[in-house]
Amino acid sequence: MIRKSVPNIFTVLNLFMGIIAIILVFSDTPVFTKLDNANLASIMVIVAMLMDGIDGRVARALNVQSEFGKELDSLSDVVSFGVAPAFIMYNVAFMELNPATAWITTAIFPICGALRLARFNVIEGIPGYFIGLPIPAAGGILCTLALFHQEINAYVLVISSLLLSYLMISRVKYPSFKKVALPKYAYAIALAIVVAAVVVSVLYPHYLSRMIFVPLVLYALYGTFQGLKRKR
């Protein structure tokens, strides 16, 4: 029984991080003096991404995959990578916009994320690929992009959010690394990366967002350009 619950623990941690991110972004009281709550909320989403990457691998390693775990994972992903990033963006960049524009754009992102996850659960995919931009990647891009709101026009961020929403429900193929074999020490390295990321984020608040933003955007662009090439 405990063995079957191990992957779900990581999934629940994913959900927990997403909930904490939502609480943080709407809290007026700063948790750390050197780190604003929006940046900290983005870190929670990034940690949730790690938990999301681990739970499936642990389930396959222990041979305890289940429909319950699959559904729990999707529900957690909607919160951590759909609702939380959308609220982070809304709080830091959209609140000064026309309410209709801000509310609709904010709502569309988690809705498209939910549609993408529902399709993932019921339609057999292509081995080695995801159909549509995975919601963790889309959420990671959105929450880190929100941290650049002072440098980017708010309407450019609106367009970016809508574009990411579209890519999630598109038919574009993106590489999947879920079943790529990893050495046993990879999980220890992943844990060390998380610890290092937290330290970097506290000492140098704006560096972490840029470190995470670049590889996620490259992943999204790679899949999109490959899809365009195949259409030609």
CA 96, CA 93: separation in Å to the nearest integer? 7
Q: What is the pTM of this model?
A: 0.83
SS3 at position 96: coil
SS3 at position 130: strand
Q: What is the pLDDT of residue 23?
A: 94
Convert the pLDDT of each residue in 18-42 to its tens digit: 999 999 998 887 776 666 888 888 8
What CATH number should be reported for the domain holding residue 109? 1.20.120.1760
- Domain count of the chain? 1
Q: What is the pLDDT of residue 211?
A: 64
DSSP string, 25-84: HT-SS-S-SSS-HHHHHHHHHHHHHHHHHHHHHHHHHHT---HHHHHHHHHHHIIIIIIH
Q: Give the contacts of 142 (CB within 8 A, at least 6 positions apart).
A: 85, 86, 88, 89, 109, 160, 161, 164
Q: What is the pLDDT of residue 194?
A: 60
Neighbours of 45 (CB within 10 A): 26
SS3 at position 152: coil
Average pLDDT for the chain: 81
CA 48, CA 16: separation in Å to the nearest integer? 8
Q: What is the pLDDT of residue 109?
A: 97
For the chain, residues with pLDDT lower than 70 are 1, 32-35, 125, 177-219, 221-232
Residue of 138, 88, 129 lying closest to 111 (CA atoms): 138
User: Which domain, by its residues, includes 56?
Assistant: 2-231
